[in-house]
Structure 1
Amino acid sequence: MDIPTLHGNFLDEALPRMRQDGRFAGVALTGSIAAGDCDEYSDVDLVLAVDDAAYDAVMRERLALIGSWTSLVAGFTGEHVGEPRLIVTLVGPPLLHVDFKFVRASDFAERTADPEILWDRDGQLVEALVERPLAASEFDLQWIEYRFWVWVHYGATKLGRGELFETIGFLSHLRDTVLGPLAAHRRHHAEKLALQYLREVIEEVSEER
């Protein structure tokens, strides 16, 4: 993987220390690094698979464990994003945002995107991904259409009342819930069409030869 030096140095330092704890089945990367579109400002998103029998004990020790793997500046649990298994941290210096998500090994295959496995103690993580392929999520345009204009009217009332911070919050919601997913869907659709066209061209060239 082509990742920034700071991020690579962190992984080079922390991963060997994680591997020394036999309670972990493996570690994987998600987020922008796994997707191949990270930059120097990206977070490091880690999923740490814990043997089921040791999970409760590891959950109680999470901050101490992270502090033994790297220089922990600050960290807190992820209830604010609906993910209490998550520890959001700053490590360093130099400062780097790293998210540590602790999951049971038996739950590792529950995912919204395929991770990049960094190490897999007994092949358990690879096997879990193979046995449970990633299901393609349905993008429901009608779900957006039902809600969009009601949301826009709501935002307009906030603007009309002069509640500018409420309006800014609404625009952020609209970006995350509607505009961002629509843009991603359009890009994915365009990529599929391009691949289809490329296959057709290759087939035509092959037939001519």
Structure 2
Amino acid sequence: MSRSDHAVSTAQHHCAAHPRGTRSVGGVRCCTRVHPSERSDSCESRSDRYRQPQGGVGKSFTAVNLAAGLARGGWRTLLVDCDPQSNATSMFDPEDDVEFDIYDLIKEDVPFDKVVRRTRLDNLDLVPATLAVAKLDQELVTMHRREDQLTMALAPAFPDYDAIVLDLSPNLGQLVITALNAAEWLVVPTDASKWGRRGSTCSSSGR
């Protein structure tokens, strides 16, 4: 079994293994592990985010493969690239022909439906990133309710998706803090190296 197939199988098992429930996280009403066949119209998306203050440990790989696995399992899934390196975006758009990205969504108030992009996979859409996203760390600091900016920007998507996966950059800048506030779960991919383990320790301690 390939790593991609294993990720799909794990994601499908993980999503079906828990009972239905809802809770509010960071001002976002979330549907917790509800399969689309059990999903009511009143339920909204749940969000997972991938953070590790160490590069090269598989954050984007994990985020993309989980999003793809959820989509193949029948979940309406949105992948949000919050990393200016835009690795998740490049996996679906290698030609880098992005017109609008998450910077435009948050800072320029470009409508969500103009920013979101269909991918080659059924049930999987993408909010892309470009290098312009690097400016958000500084610009968010001066914005009112900066911790809620991503939540508010993604609000139009909540009724249309069963899961939202956020791919974050390897730092603890303002955009990452804003994304952590918007999400329900934190997943910390790592490897067995000294730096990977150190990054995991920093993530769990909040440093």
Q: Name the TM-score, length of structure 1 as normaliser.
A: 0.30
Larger radius of gyration between Structure 1 and Structure 2 = 1
Q: Name the TM-score, length of structure 2 as normaliser.
A: 0.30
Q: Which has the higher strand share?
A: 1
